[in-house]
Amino acid sequence: MIEKLRDYPKTEKFECIDTIGVPHPYCITPKHVSWASDKFNGMLNTNAIKDAEKHGARCDICKGKLKYEEHEQAILVEVDDERELKDIPELKDYLLSIKERAEKDGFAGFAFKQKKNGKEE
């Protein structure tokens, strides 16, 4: 999904730099790895993960409350501004400018990585 971000608009203050799992990343377990090794020639890909779920493997964070497909991705937006996010009106404008495309690309929303004093926080 990160390749989809290459063409997203970038400004002096805002850049789509990565994706992040929401509500959390899907956490692979030894059962997934074993299943992929035995049934998918060692290839731990989406098909192997989904098939392993059919045979008892689960996300190790939510313990199967969510299936693989229910773990979504959000866009990680780097914000180069020291103000609180709620105090940056340009952020709302930026997000609204990319919202339709983000939805079309299948992203669940946005998360933020803020720079303060030139340092990431």
Give pTM, 2 decimals: 0.79
Q: Residue 7 in 3-state DSSP?
A: helix
At residue 119, the pLDDT reads: 60
In the block, residue with structure tokens 């970038």: 10
Same domain, 60 and 82: no
At residue 4, the pLDDT reads: 82
Same domain, 76 and 115: yes
How many other CB atoms sit within 10 Å of the CB of residue 42? 10
Residues spanned by the domain of 117:
1-23+71-121
Tokens of 51: 């098939």
DSSP bridge pairs for 75:
19, 110
Task: Report the domain count for the chain.
Answer: 2
Same domain, 8 and 42: no
Same domain, 115 and 82: yes
Dump pLDDT digits (tens) for 79-119. Answer: 999 999 999 999 999 999 999 999 999 999 999 999 876 56
DSSP bridge pairs for 112:
77
Dump pLDDT digits (tens) for 24-52. Answer: 999 999 999 999 999 999 999 999 999 99
At residue 3, the pLDDT reads: 80
| pLDDT above 70: residue 121 | no
